[in-house]
Amino acid sequence: MFSKATLKERRQYYREEWSTKDLPDFILKDLKKREFGFDHNGKGPNDRYKVFRGRESLKKFLRYKAPFAAYISVAFYNNPRRREDWQKAEYIFDVDAKDIPIRTCQCDGVCEVCLGQALEIVNSLIDTLQDDLGLNNIHLVYSGRGYHIRILDEEMMTSGSELRSEVLKYVAGAEVPKSNFFNPDISNKSFNFEHFSIPVGYSKIFTDKLKYNIQHLVGNEELDEINPKLMKDIIKYRHHLDNDNWGYFKRDIGPRRYKNLTEAMARVNLSTIDAKVSIDLKRILRLPSSLHSKVSMKCMEVKNRETFDPLQEAVPKFVEERGE
């Protein structure tokens, strides 16, 4: 498992297993307004600006070409063949298991453990997007090596880079709260962007993510401002956090080193998500239902994020036939 798919296997997948029924409704809607891109040799998407009028023409192309990778734009255009007359774009959170900065596994690519951790992270992000920001047109896609959160609420689809950046920092917990004392409640104050509000007092989000990161450290991570001695003490005293005794933890770590820790973890939180993808209004992403040929896994929409298991649901038949 997770080995590269051969051309023969790609052909088998698209001719025997792939179906237009696997395309999510949010992809099929206004399909002709999206740009498609393809990678035919494993060196990146070099076949761009493709347009399909319907699912059948896409089906014929995939069966004939059996691409190494297939992509679709997050943006909608009146003229997608030239990427002209931009209308709106999905808002994306991209979490790749191999790029998680604090991982509980020691693999050099992806494995069951880090894929499970990536799902934990995206579940937390979606909960914040729904509960704090009131977004509800959210689709989760397993990408093959991680997950894409694809948000189609109109207030985000028509927004610019400034709002996308602010929402990203809020949901990721990418800034240390100004208060020295973390407040578990969300502040009623908010930033307003074109009738869309972002709560300011997000200390609970930061605190939860800080605790999660500390509890998942294994000790060999190379993080800015966390030297080996501080890393050792964090692991030594993190038992205080089992009962949320932040005062004892901060006392044993020391105020200055605790400040270094929180600043480093804010950067860790942001680096867990590919920020470039979130603010890019013309990005292309893997097409749900397509094959991620580098790891021989299906890119697919997640119907139940609480029970989804990619090693059970996203494995192509040809991988099972390999006997791996």
Which residues are known catalytic residues? 94, 96, 274
Q: What is the DSSP string of 195-240?
A: TEEEES--HHHHHHHHHHHHHH--S---BTTB-HHHHHHHHHHGGG
Q: How far is CA 60 from CA 4, 252, 293, in A?
A: 24, 64, 19
**Residues 195-204: contacts with CB under 8 Å, at least 24 apart:** 195/155, 196/155, 196/156, 196/159, 196/163, 198/133, 198/166, 198/167, 198/170, 199/132, 199/133, 199/170, 201/177, 202/132, 202/170, 202/173, 202/177, 203/177, 203/179
Cβ-based neighbour number of residue 90 at 10 Å:
24
